[in-house]
Amino acid sequence: MLLISGLNLYGQDPCFNDINDPVFDNCDDREVVLASGVCTSPLIPSLTATDNCTSSEDQFTTNLNNDLVNDGLGCLMGDISFYQIFSPGSGWNTPFTPQSIFLGIYNAENNPLVTVEFYLTHGNPAPATWTLIGEGSAFVGTASNTFVTIPVTVPAILPSEEFAVRVTAPTSAVYGNVIGFNDDGHTSSTFYTSPACGIYNLTDVANVLGAGSGMVMSVVGESAGVYITPAPGNNYPVDHEFEVGEYKLSYIATDNAGNSSSCSFIFSVLEDPTIVSSIACNDLVQISLDSICEAIVGADEILEGGSYGCYDDYEVVIYNKQNQPIGNVLTKTYIGQTLKVSVFNSAGNSCWGLIKVEDKSPAPLDCSPIYTTCVGDLAPGSPLPDLITVQADLVGSIIPSNAKYAKDYFVNVYGLGAANITDVNVMLDIEHQNVNNLQVLVTSPWGQSVKLFGGIAENCAADNIRVTFDDDAANDYSDLEGTCNPTAPAVSGFFQSLQALSAFNNHSPLGQWKFTVIDSTDTDGGEINELSLVFEQTGGFVSFPTSNPVTFVEQGQGYYTVWGIDPCGPATLGYVDDIRESDCSSIYSKVIARTWSATDASGNNSPVCTQFIYVYRNGLASLHFPPNYDGHDLPALSCTQFGDVVPTPEYTGEPYGDFCDNIQIFLMKI
């Protein structure tokens, strides 16, 4: 890592050649007397230092040449992310607050959005273990071989912390190879990932662009004027909480230029001199259990009078109804009981009183929404249908004919409980004047991407594509590539996708899924009519108003005794449904507002909450159609048997699946 200290984009910082040491403001011995019952104290007054340069603008980079852009790298199918890791090194002496990145642009078309994320790596090379601490983004216009500044919001990073910057650009099929590189050498490697292009692990860009290649990027921000750290042999940071005792402390103040000074002093933490050895207990104390139905009883809750020393130094012992000591932790076992409690100090003195154990917390209700279909049982605890179809939100579904096009369409999957994917199909319906120009990608909430198709129906005169992708389809991807119907839709039917959808199996479907639709030319347009995911699942159920596992007994229509919602024991729950039928324009057949009430075993009433149940109106994607008897799906039927008659569904099969009232099936003899 290189530090261009005191440099900004506009000139030279006046503290560039700072040679003055910082000065401690209050390097004096300190003495603090703890108040009654208090156990620790911070440094009082706090330790501070002043430098002649209060702060400076700094610029960190790994580039040996930060002014040259001569290469780029992108992914035709989707986003690509580049990573630069900044390790603690020479010249970084005080907390640094990033404010922007100065980024090289190789070739940006159609005003792409570039996003920037900052992570603490904790010294681990695996991004899954990193902690996101800040971010920023900017549209970078249409430009090539230039530089842009992208503002970021990031907290201060300590000199001892390794951090990484992730820069993400959209598909190069529409926006070009946006991010700039050069091959003039770098102090550390630039890595990249692109799930859309099958790159899931950090990969050195030098493997693709050649030795010495790296991203042209600097982190610009402000470094604090002074940073105070413990001197060798001192184990206490300046914000430590000190117990009673005398401490010989030494600290070092370092400024951004590396100049430093030291400070040593004695910090004395004294007990309250008015502490009494005798103790007195309250006669009766009410103790309420907390949100997990427990209470840790401390001496501060039982003692009265004083003055007393650190409450942590007193022993609290509670006795059950059999006068057996049970420690100082109360649980649901003791709700409603009045128990004896004793407090002991180090002098051997003790006192006793009574505590009454109460549960005053109502059962916590979490009315997260539920998603099901028209064939599912809506009673709480009922399993969800095996087949769940979810459509993408198609806001902005027009594909322009005068510009390249790439857009993400999101599918929010929620309310399926502990569902686990056993199979995924995809149904899409896109009107387009040249299907050969289209590419479609599906990305899961955990980052797994599957390319459905791209570059099919070459030289096909007809328009549009209406296809269901199914790993079990009789038509494989080569059949899809060769399909060209004489009339619209040019491509239709059931096919296997380019990459297997089974990559999504054995995961929870919950989260935000993404369809990426790309039109790589600016000559033809169209409109997206449907993008649907069809999940086959197990484990999903209509939940009670909680994310906890529960058991229950139905006590009557709409009333249940439920264990698992209230940590203190069973609760009685009831609900009332307000059913709101939807019109034909909605993807839902109805939306149910289920209002829950609950009373726990101690008589506490929970605030009512409303759980929305979205009942999806199944479409054709939820049905299974019989195969073609064409010698490809299945062998052709015998002309001896059916030469003069039309075979009936008894022989050919008929559609089956989850039918809703919006679906009608007709048999037509042609």
Q: Is the pLDDT of residue 70 over 80?
A: yes
Which of these, 391, 469, 399, lies nearest to 432 by C-alpha position?
399
**According to the model, what pLDDT value does residue 539 have?**
93
Residue 489: other Cβ atoms inside 10 A:
20
List, in order, residues 6 or more apart from 223 with CB less than 8 Å away.
Answer: 55, 56, 57, 58, 92, 93, 94, 95, 96, 97, 256
What is the DSSP-derived secondary structure letter of residue 323?
A: S
Distance of CA 15 to the CA centre of its chain: 41
Is the confidence at residue 2, as pLDDT, over 90?
Answer: no
Chain-centroid distance, C-alpha 387: 26
**Between 259 and 88, the higher pLDDT residue:** 259
How high is the pLDDT of residue 92?
Answer: 80
Q: Is the pLDDT of residue 670 over 80?
A: no
Task: Please report which confidence band the pLDDT of residue 637 belongs to, taking 50, 70 and 90 as the band edges.
Answer: confident
Cis peptide, bond prior to residue 45, ω within 30 of zero: yes
pLDDT above 70 covers a percentage of the chain that reads 93
- What is the reported pLDDT for 642? 72
Q: Mean pLDDT across the stretch 223-229?
A: 93
Nearest-CA neighbor of 482 among 491, 494, 493? 491
Q: If DSSP codes are grouped into helix, strand and coil, which group holds residue 175?
A: helix
Q: What are the φ and ψ backbone dihedral angles of 74, each rounded to 5 degrees? A: -150, 180
How far is CA 399 from its chain centroid? 30
213 touches 96 (CB < 8 A): no
ω into 5 cis (within 30 of 0): no
Reduce the secondary structure of 386-409 to three states and give it as a string: CEEEEECCCCCCEECCCCCEEEEE
Neighbours of 238 (CB within 10 A): 14
For 35-65, b where at least 16 C-beta lie within 10 A, e where not — what string?
Answer: ebbbeebebeeebebebbbebbbbbbbbbee
DSSP class of 94 = S
With 60 as the cut, is the pLDDT of residue 12 above it?
no
Going by C-alpha positions, the residue among 412, 414, 421, 415 that lies closest to residue 378 is 415
Helix (H) or strand (E) holding 639: helix 639-642
Q: How many CA atoms lie within 13 A of 600 on its CB side?
A: 23
Q: Average the pLDDT over each of 40-44, 86-90, 310-314, 543-547 and give the range with the smallest value.
A: 86-90
If phi over 0 gives left and psi between -120 and 50 gives alpha, with beta otherwise, what is residue 447?
left
Ramachandran angles phi, psi of 334, nearest 5° = -105, 10
Q: What is the pLDDT of residues 196-212, one digit of tens each?
A: 888 999 999 999 999 99
Tokens of 174: 């529409």
pLDDT, tens digit, for every residue of 281-290? 999 999 999 9
Q: State the Cα–Cα distance between residues 475 and 505, nearest whole angstrom.
A: 21
Residue 313, classed as helix, strand or coil, is helix
Answer yes or no: is pLDDT of 9 > 60: no
* Residue 72 CA from chain centroid, whole number: 29
Q: What is the mean pLDDT of residues 176-202?
A: 93
Q: Tell whether the model's pLDDT for residue 606 goes beyond 90.
A: yes
Q: How far is CA 104 from CA 182, 218, 558, in A?
A: 9, 9, 63
Expressed in angstroms, the distance from the first to the final Cα of the chain is 74
Give φ, ψ of 185 to 5 degrees.
105, 150
Q: Which residue has the tokens 């992914």?
A: 75
pLDDT computed for residue 13 by the predictor: 52
Q: Which residue is listed with tokens 């980079």? A: 61
φ/ψ (deg, to 5) at 174: -115, -35
User: Which two three-digit tokens encode residue 463?
Assistant: 């328009």
Confidence of residue 11 (pLDDT cuts 50, 70, 90): very low
Taking 60 as the threshold, does the pLDDT of residue 1 lie above it?
A: no
Rg of the Cα trace of the chain? 34
Q: What are the C-alpha distances in Å from 220 to residues 51, 90, 149, 161, 622?
A: 21, 17, 9, 17, 53
What is the mean predicted confidence (pLDDT) over 662-668?
A: 60
Assign 77 to helix, strand or coil: coil
Q: DSSP letter string over 531-558? A: EEEEEEEES-B---SSSS--EEEEEETT
Query: What would the two tokens of residue 249 be?
Result: 């402390």
Average of per-residue pLDDT across 517-542: 92
Dihedrals φ, ψ of 206, to 5°? -60, -25
Closest CA to 65 of 9, 142, 152, 4: 4
3-state secondary structure of 623: strand
CA 365 to chain centre: 23
Query: In the structure encoding, which two tokens stand for residue 402, read together?
Result: 């005068």
Answer whether 545's CB lies under 8 Å from 565's CB. Answer: yes
pLDDT bin (cut points 50, 70, 90) of residue 649 is confident
Q: Residues 217, 102: contact at Cβ < 8 Å?
A: yes
Name the more confident of 449 and 624: 449
Instruction: Look at residue 664 in the predicted model and tell me its pLDDT.
Output: 59
Rounded to two decimals, the pTM is: 0.78
Q: Which tokens in the block code for residue 403?
A: 């510009």
Query: What local confidence, expressed as pLDDT, does residue 101 receive?
Result: 96
